[in-house]
């Protein structure tokens, strides 16, 4: 225990200042809150995508079986294709396919709200600033004139690529910087002040005019400089210089597993680990998830192994640290009555990936014995799942599911019905149970797990 105490003291000395600074950083907080606000939109798209790829498409998990019946293939499937599938496809198109627009609004709103500046105005200005940087002409469109093909530029058309997952990083940069500039100008007093008799809503609208004009002007100017000086538009430049290298780096298991392990260390101090690394996880891995969803919706193979929900599906059964396996180990091996009583209370939330009762009630926080498996299990499970996916033993994740979806079931849904992924998730859960077991037994022998 002497070594464990010294290790805990070292972690507290070194990691606590870093965790505190990260938790209070206003841009990271805006990203975190913005992604949380975006969650309902993503769930709408996930619902539509799941129905399409599990049930409605003729090559879907259920659709394949149903279309083996001639009556279904000739009479029912055409009706589904014409009248039902477009509805669920529209749900995807209006949500996940337009990810960047929603994140512009939610992230800018969260930042302005934290600065006590009109958040609605800041959000609308962020959208305008981004649209000012989006190319308004499609170049090189092939058209036929008298059976002769010509490449022409068509003004007034915006590429979908400016709003889907490939544009997410570019949109986040604009959301944060435009919101910061808007807040700065507003606080500097660059506002039109109306008489007290003017209704508050009208007064707020007029006070936002000058900061809004200045902000959108700056971003339109930047857009012109990118095109005239660098030779490419802003989004293309971001893609080539930042997003593509970042995505490539993010697909390294060292990057992904390193972030997940870091989040576990934050938990040691009572800080919500995933919330601390959420901005990085969402920025790097939500685009890869959306890219997989888009590819599958278009009849192609999913592209990326690591997605935002990869860790939820495979590496954290019951929540951070795989604590559902810990609860099962307590039921089987623990001789401490207080732990068994806590497990009874925590088991139902744990099934739905909610494990704060375990983390703070057992506790795992500041507990060097239980914290060891808590810290290492996600990384071990992630590593095994990575190699299994890379080897083609299971399908890549291509569906957005709520983080509260029970383990094992989540693997089936996230891979659009791959039973192999379900089996992998079950085996990983058993491995987590095996890792937790000796520590539960050790806690019995020590007689003190506080």
The Cβ of residue 115 has, within 10 Å, a number of other Cβ atoms equal to 19
Residue 253, exposed/middle/buried by CB under 10 A (0-12, 13-18, 19+)? middle
pLDDT one-digit tens code per residue, 256-287: 999 999 888 888 776 777 877 888 888 889 89
Alpha-carbon gap, residue 35 to 176, rounded angstroms: 13
Residue 302 makes CB contacts below 8 A (sequence gap 6+) with 292, 295, 296, 395, 396, 397, 398
- Decide: 165 and 283 in contact? Cβ < 8 Å: no
pTM for this predicted structure: 0.78
Rg of the chain in Å (alpha carbons): 25
- Decide: 91 and 47 in contact? Cβ < 8 Å: yes
Residue 181 makes CB contacts below 8 A (sequence gap 6+) with 211, 214, 215, 218
Dmax over CA atoms of the chain, in Å, equals 88
**Strand duo 137-145 + 148-155: pairing:** antiparallel
Alpha-carbon gap, residue 151 to 145, rounded angstroms: 11
Q: pLDDT tens, position by position, for the chain (450 residues)?
A: 455 556 556 656 665 566 566 666 788 889 888 988 888 888 888 788 878 877 888 877 788 888 888 888 888 899 998 999 899 889 989 998 899 999 999 999 999 999 999 999 999 999 999 999 998 876 766 667 667 666 666 777 788 888 988 888 899 999 999 999 999 999 998 887 777 666 777 777 778 899 999 999 999 999 999 999 998 999 989 988 888 888 888 899 999 999 999 888 888 776 777 877 888 888 889 899 999 998 988 888 999 999 999 999 999 999 889 999 999 999 999 888 888 998 898 898 889 888 888 887 888 877 878 888 999 999 999 999 999 999 999 999 998 888 888 999 999 999 988 999 999 999 999 999 999 999 999 888 765 444
- Decide: 237 and 230 in contact? Cβ < 8 Å: yes
Alpha-carbon gap, residue 59 to 57, rounded angstroms: 5
- Decide: 208 and 327 in contact? Cβ < 8 Å: no
Specify which residues 137 forms β-bridges with.
155
The Cβ of residue 258 has, within 10 Å, a number of other Cβ atoms equal to 13
Look at residue 204 and give its three-state secondary structure. helix
Alpha-carbon gap, residue 74 to 379, rounded angstroms: 49
Nearest Cα residue to 386 out of 255, 246, 245:
255
Got the DSSP string for 132-200? Answer: HHS--EEEEEEEEETTEEEEEEEET---GGGTSGGGHHHHHHHHHHHHHHHHHHHHTT-SPPPPTTS-H
């Amino acid at each position: 225990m002497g070594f464990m105490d010294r290790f805990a003291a070292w972690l507290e000395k070194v990691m606590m200042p870093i965790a505190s600074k990260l938790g209070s950083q206003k841009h990271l907080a805006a990203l975190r809150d913005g992604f949380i606000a975006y969650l309902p939109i993503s769930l709408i798209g996930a619902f539509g995508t799941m129905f399409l790829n599990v049930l409605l498409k003729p090559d879907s998990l259920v659709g394949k079986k149903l279309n083996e019946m001639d009556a279904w293939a000739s009479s029912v499937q055409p009706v589904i294709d014409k009248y039902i599938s477009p509805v669920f496809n529209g749900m995807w198109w209006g949500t996940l396919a337009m990810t960047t627009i929603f994140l512009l609004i939610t992230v800018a709103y969260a930042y302005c709200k934290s600065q006590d500046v009109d958040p609605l105005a800041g959000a609308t200005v962020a959208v305008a600033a981004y649209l000012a940087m989006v190319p308004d002409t499609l170049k090189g469109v092939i058209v036929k004139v008298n059976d002769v093909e010509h490449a022409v530029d068509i003004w007034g058309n915006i590429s979908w690529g400016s709003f889907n997952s490939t544009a997410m990083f570019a949109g986040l940069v604009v959301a944060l910087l435009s919101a910061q500039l808007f807040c700065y100008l507003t606080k500097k007093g660059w506002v039109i002040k109306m008489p007290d008799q003017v209704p508050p809503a009208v007064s707020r609208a007029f006070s936002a005019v000058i900061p809004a004009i200045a902000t959108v002007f700056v971003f339109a100017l930047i857009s012109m400089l990118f095109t005239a000086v660098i030779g490419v538009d802003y989004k293309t430049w971001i893609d080539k210089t930042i997003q593509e290298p970042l995505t490539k780096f993010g697909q390294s298991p060292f990057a992904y597993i390193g972030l997940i392990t870091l989040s576990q260390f934050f938990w040691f101090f009572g800080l919500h680990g995933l919330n601390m690394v959420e901005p990085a996880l969402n920025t790097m891995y939500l685009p890869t998830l959306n890219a997989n969803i888009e590819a599958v919706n278009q009849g192609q193979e999913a592209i990326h192994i690591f997605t935002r929900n990869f860790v939820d599906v495979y590496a954290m059964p019951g929540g951070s640290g795989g604590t559902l396996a810990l609860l099962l180990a307590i039921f089987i091996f623990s001789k401490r009555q207080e732990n068994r009583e806590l497990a009874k209370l925590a088991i139902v939330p744990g099934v739905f990936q909610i494990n704060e009762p375990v983390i703070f009630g057992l506790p795992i926080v500041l507990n060097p014995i239980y914290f060891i498996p808590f810290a290492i299990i996600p990384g071990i499970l992630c590593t095994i799942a990575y190699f299994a996916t890379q080897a083609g033993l299971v399908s890549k994740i291509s569906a957005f599911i709520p983080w509260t979806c029970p383990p094992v079931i989540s693997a089936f849904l996230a891979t659009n019905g791959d039973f192999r992924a379900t089996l992998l998730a079950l085996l990983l859960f058993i491995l987590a149970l095996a890792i937790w077991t000796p520590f539960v037994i050790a806690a019995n022998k020590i007689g003190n797990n506080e």
